[in-house]
Structure 1
Amino acid sequence: MAHETLDPALINTSDGPVLIVAAAKQETERSSGRHQHCRGQLFGSMRGLLTIGVDEGVWVVPTTHAIWVPPHRVHWARSHGPFHGFAVYVAEPACAALPAAPCAIRMSGLLREATLRAAGWPLGPLDAPAERLAGVILDEIGTLPTDPLGLPLPRDIRLLRIAQALLADPADDRSLEQWAKWAAISDRSLSRRFVSETGFTFTVWRQRARLMRALEMLAEEVPVTGIALALGYSTPSTFIGLFRRTFGVTPALYRERFQGQPGPEVSIR
């Protein structure tokens, strides 16, 4: 099995096999800072929760989805709580038929099982059966349904400062007017630009940021009441109600489901 601590030289060249699969299993959080490499990368998990970030946005990823990042795109990743997952590194020439932009794809049983099989390959040239299975994996990455970014980030530097501050502290309850003053932008411009650059109103975007952080905290075994208070909800019942309306289940049931396989589908509406 390819180890999760692969030699960086292996993923910074397209020489060698068309794809390399690294498997990871740990009981504690694992993270990687901003970096890039010349191979495309598919992140996925069999158990636990991942957060993946690129310049355009951030995803919180359960076992039902995987994230594709094309070659040479700066990205970062962090797991939350116990985690068992994989990364598929695809040689740059083979990425021409794959999505050109970072995206979330819905995991199929075929992709999951083929990837698990590929994780058992020794590093080195692929034999004929392995080449055929590699082709199946590439076909699945290229044809499975994609989902939009979980939390798009604005491009305007003033709005980006606000977004980054809210990601760092989702419980910050300053009003739109207070944030506009802090970022030296008019209320009207902040409101209009947030919609045009992210597709969401400022209020809805902040709500999504809080819910994404709630998913991470659930994976880290934080009690539901503690999550509600930490994220600035007036009462735990307010948080539970919003969570249920968004994900279709209570936070406690969600935690139970993503700790197993397959996890519940995450679709923040």
Structure 2
Amino acid sequence: MPAKIPRSTNHLDFQHLPQTLAVMVKDFPDGFYIAGHKHERHQLLYATSGIMRLYTDNEIWIVPNDRAVYIPAGTVHAVKMYGDVTMHTLYIDASARESEPESLRVILVSDLMRELIKALGREAVVYRPGSRGDKIAGLIASELELAKNEAFNIPLPADARLQTLCSHLLANPSDRSTLDDWSGRCGASPRTLSRLFEQELGMSFRRWRQIIRFHHAIESLAQGKPIKQVAAECGYLSPSAFSAAFQSVIGHAPSVITGKDVLPVPKGQYAP
């Protein structure tokens, strides 16, 4: 029988376990930053409260608490917390899940999976075959097989001209400048910039700007900022226009994060 390890918040205690799955539970304050690192095991990173922003070499990922991010073993990543975060990290033996995709992905967390992850987080770090912990882990593995991909990530460019534009908008999501406005600053025509967005980032300038705005919005809402302020920070002319656009992209209203109602949407105000 393996020795029982007390419930730990040290990730090193989860890298060489006799079982396939284990959950580490750890609390982080708003604004806490975990610098770039990697693990020997695959990870499923999930926050039951607060929101996480994940950074890799060429992308930024937002992880609200209805989603989790699957990080393959050896992937260098950094994490920043927005709001007080209770993080549940599921460490998965890489050799036992060779069929898993090698790329990072975000999945939708079902109500069942959420409760299973929380339940395994209350079990001993090491559990015996056939034990309650082992049975919960088996159910989690089944849920992972069925989980839907729900990515909401920001691709980052390699082209220096786009880097100038994208870096500015990441820091200033309220900026409403058009590609015509950016042409002189980037040293490229609006047509060239538009083509670079499609080629390098796989989407239009408008779509990319919308995604970075909603990244900012989710983080700000999680920190308790009022919707009116968040809408202005994201370049929207009214809270109702912001709410409509947010719901069309994220799938639910900002009030799901804030717990506060928003005004109905007037016609003709969907676009920023």
Which residue of structure 2 aligns with residue 108 of structure 1?
110
- Given that residues 14 and 92 in structure 1 are in contact (C-alpha distance below 8 angstroms), is that contact kept between their aligned partners in structure 2? no
Give the whole-Å Cα distance in 1 for the aligned partners of 2:87 and 2:76: 20
Q: After TM superposition, list the pairs within 5 Å mapping 1:217-256 onto structure 2.
A: 217-247=220-250, 250-256=253-259
Q: TM-score, normalised by structure 1?
A: 0.80
Identity, % of aligned pairs? 28
Q: Secondary structure at the match of 1:117?
A: helix
Give the whole-Å Cα distance in 2 for the aligned partners of 1:240 and 1:227: 10
Which residue of structure 2 aligns with residue 6 of structure 1?
10
- Given that residues 156 and 201 in structure 2 are in contact (C-alpha distance below 8 angstroms), is that contact kept between their aligned partners in structure 1? yes
- Given that residues 19 and 90 in structure 1 are in contact (C-alpha distance below 8 angstroms), is that contact kept between their aligned partners in structure 2? yes
Give the whole-Å Cα distance in 1 for the aligned partners of 2:97 and 2:136: 16
Give the whole-Å Cα distance in 1 for the aligned partners of 2:186 and 2:76: 26
- Given that residues 37 and 71 in structure 1 are in contact (C-alpha distance below 8 angstroms), is that contact kept between their aligned partners in structure 2? yes
The answer to which structure, 1 or 2, has the higher relative contact order (CA under 8 A, 6+ apart) is: 1
Which residue of structure 1 aligns with residue 150 of structure 2?
147
Q: After TM superposition, list the pairs within 5 Å mapping 1:27-42 onto structure 2.
A: 28-42=30-44
1:136 to 118, 139, 160: 139
Which residue of structure 1 aligns with residue 87 of structure 2?
85
Q: After TM superposition, list the pairs within 5 Å mapping 1:55-94 onto structure 2.
A: 55-94=57-96
Give the whole-Å Cα distance in 2 for the aligned partners of 1:181 and 1:17: 58
Q: TM-score, normalised by structure 2?
A: 0.79
Deviation of 1:14 after TM superposition, in Å, equals 4.2
Q: Deviations over 1:46-65 (max 9, x none)?
A: 23322223234333222221
Structure 1 residues 181, 128: closer, same or farther in 2, change over 3 A?
farther
Q: CA RMSD in A?
A: 2.8
Give the whole-Å Cα distance in 1 for the aligned partners of 2:127 and 2:258: 40
Deviation of 1:91 after TM superposition, in Å, equals 2.0
- Given that residues 68 and 102 in structure 1 are in contact (C-alpha distance below 8 angstroms), is that contact kept between their aligned partners in structure 2? yes
Deviation of 1:39 after TM superposition, in Å, equals 1.3
Structure 1 residues 85, 181: closer, same or farther in 2, change over 3 A?
same
Give the whole-Å Cα distance in 2 for the aligned partners of 1:55 and 1:95: 24
Which structure 1 residue ranges, 5 or more long, are not aligned? 258-269
Which residue of structure 2 aligns with residue 261 of structure 1?
none
- Given that residues 98 and 142 in structure 1 are in contact (C-alpha distance below 8 angstroms), is that contact kept between their aligned partners in structure 2? no
- Given that residues 41 and 68 in structure 1 are in contact (C-alpha distance below 8 angstroms), is that contact kept between their aligned partners in structure 2? yes
Which residue of structure 1 aligns with residue 45 of structure 2?
43
Give the whole-Å Cα distance in 1 for the aligned partners of 2:135 and 2:251: 39
Give the whole-Å Cα distance in 2 for the aligned partners of 1:65 and 1:118: 18
Matched, 1:213 2:212: no
Which residue of structure 2 aligns with residue 267 of structure 1?
none
Which structure 2 residue ranges, 5 or more long, are not aligned? 1-5, 261-272
Give the whole-Å Cα distance in 2 for the aligned partners of 1:100 and 1:235: 42
Q: Secondary structure at the match of 2:176?
A: coil
Deviation of 1:155 after TM superposition, in Å, equals 4.1
Structure 1 residues 37, 157: closer, same or farther in 2, change over 3 A?
farther
Which residue of structure 1 aligns with residue 170 of structure 2?
167
> How many residue pairs end up in the alignment?
254
Q: Which amino acid aligns with 1:6?
A: N
Give the whole-Å Cα distance in 1 for the aligned partners of 2:235 and 2:91: 39
Q: Which amino acid aligns with 2:10?
A: L
Give the whole-Å Cα distance in 2 for the aligned partners of 1:126 and 1:96: 23
Q: Secondary structure at the match of 1:142?
A: helix
Give the whole-Å Cα distance in 2 for the aligned partners of 1:253 and 1:24: 24
